Structure 1
Amino acid sequence: MKERLVTSVILITLLLVVGLIDNVYLTGLLIAVIAIAGMYEAKRLFGVEEERVFYFLSFMAVLGIFVNPILIAVAGILSVGGYIAFYQKDINPISIALYPFLSLMILFSLYLQTSMGMIGWLILVIASTDSFAYLIGKNFKGHFFKEGFSPTSPNKSWEGVIGGVASGTILGAIVGLAFFNFFEAFIIALSISIASVFGDLFESYLKRRAGVKDSGNILPGHGGVLDRIDGYLFGAPVLWAIILSIGH
């Protein structure tokens, strides 16, 4: 418990410092480091043994600090696809180019196109969804629904999911008034919240498929990097796509 608390304090402090400094290169560096660590963990979950793909995408993640991250994401994915086809490799290596590399490049692009405040709002929506889902699920699991939310994650209840999404949406709609009108903020927060639930579920599926409890052990008391960012890997692309669509 003490180990988990210390790790949480360090992570929160790091995020606050980066958020307050609000420097493009520092933020890009943080996202690149997260991408590299996440891809390293994803290699194990997907069963990827091709080291060259990992090193190439790691280089691309760093390059994304200086070059349009969406361009980097597209170039990275297509290059890996071409490499697989040219050398008749197993298709598996492209998995880490899609998850988490693509989502994290989209997250950085979202920051570049909007503001650190928007990233903070994204964190608020997803963190509140996750926190309230845990609290409500723990106290009301099985009260209204006999079956769990999904066989992929037996401990996740419908009560927790609904409560988490409702809480994340309401808080997001209120705080989101800084960026959108209430209707837009409500719909976007709802979309992000739902996406984050399935991001968490997808990570659970990968771990169950790989037969592991955590994606890694780099964060004492918390498991791996992917265990902490799974909701954002689905939520960030949704927010990015919506903002792109409405031209905000």
Structure 2
Amino acid sequence: MQTAKNSTQERIVTAIFLVTGVFVVGLINNFWLIWTVLGVIYLLAFHEATRLFGINNNSLYAYAAILWLAAALYPYGEDLFIIAGLIFAAAVAYTQNIPWKNFFPFVYPSAGMLFTLSMYQEYGITSLLWLLVVVASADVGAYVVGRSIGKTPFSISSPSKTREGVYGGIAVATAAGFFIGITIVDMPQAIIISMMAAISAVFGDLFESYLKRRAGVKDSGSILPGHGGVLDRIDGYLFASIVMLVLLRGLV
């Protein structure tokens, strides 16, 4: 009982620090500050991803750092992601001794982090607030609805999730995201983008659960007391950010 209480207290304290940090960074709203904060998050998540993928190659961190430095100078993160893929494919063909799985961390979490930075550059801090509200609402909504009326299992990759919880979380996230999205886009786009980002967040969380089950670990890391690792906190954002930016560009 005491252990559970201490774990809950740790979780609450960590959450307060995280929320406060996000609020301060958002209030300052400076590109270099956001680039730095996202970069730290990215490298920590990259490290955790290599662990989940079963990769032991320290040189990959240097390439990840170079990729993020390039993102500070070049505004289209998805271009850098594609170029990184081409370079890796060329290196594989040239050497014939590089495991393909070494590129996995450059897909996950790299793509989502690059899209997040690009979305900030193109649509400003409000777009990141929109993303934050949608993903957080999907998570909270799924938990509350799932605990209240959830009965039907959603996926074997995440046994604790229920279909009722997932549907409830998407509905809550769509409604909450709408009120932020409407300040950037028109009403139909705000609804569509919020809903699609919420659905993506669900599967972002599910994908990380799948990776953890394959790796045989409970959390992606232990850097956040009571919460696990960085990937445990940003998994939904890594999928949702990509979908949100693509839809913003395509529908607006």
TM-score past 0.5 threshold: yes
Q: Give the alignment's TM-score, normalised by structure 2.
A: 0.92
Query: Whole-Å Cα distance in 2 between the matches of residues 222 and 84 of structure 1?
Result: 37
Q: Report the AA paired with residue 133 of structure 2.
A: L
Q: Helix, strand or coil for the counterpart of 2:226?
A: coil
1:182 Cα offset (Å) = 1.6
Query: Whole-Å Cα distance in 2 between the matches of residues 81 and 11 of structure 1?
Result: 38
| Residues 189-214 of structure 1, C-alpha deviations (whole Å, 9 max, x = no match) | 11000000000000000000100000
Equivalent residue, structure 2, for 1:80: 88
Question: Contact 2:204–2:238 at 8 Å: present in 1 too?
Answer: yes
Q: Report the AA paired with residue 111 of structure 1.
A: Y
Match of 1:199 among 191, 204, 211: 204
Question: Contact 1:136–1:160 at 8 Å: present in 2 too?
Answer: yes
Match of 1:170 among 175, 181, 184: 175
Equivalent residue, structure 1, for 2:119: 110
Tell me whether 44-53 or 106-115 shows the greater mean CA deviation.
Answer: 44-53
Matched, 1:12 2:19: yes
Equivalent residue, structure 2, for 1:40: 47
Aligned Cα RMSD in Å?
A: 1.3
Tell me whether 129-138 or 179-188 shows the greater mean CA deviation.
Answer: 179-188
Matched, 1:63 2:55: no
Equivalent residue, structure 2, for 1:132: 141
Residue ranges of structure 2 left out of the alignment (5+ in a row): 1-7
Equivalent residue, structure 2, for 1:122: 131
| Residues 159-184 of structure 1, C-alpha deviations (whole Å, 9 max, x = no match) | 10010001111122233221122211
% identical equivalent positions: 38
Equivalent residue, structure 1, for 2:5: none
Question: Contact 1:199–1:235 at 8 Å: present in 2 too?
Answer: yes
Question: Contact 2:129–2:180 at 8 Å: present in 1 too?
Answer: no
Residue ranges of structure 1 left out of the alignment (5+ in a row): none
Query: Whole-Å Cα distance in 1 between the matches of residues 238 and 192 of structure 2?
Result: 19
Q: Helix, strand or coil for the counterpart of 2:73?
A: coil
Question: Contact 2:193–2:248 at 8 Å: present in 1 too?
Answer: no
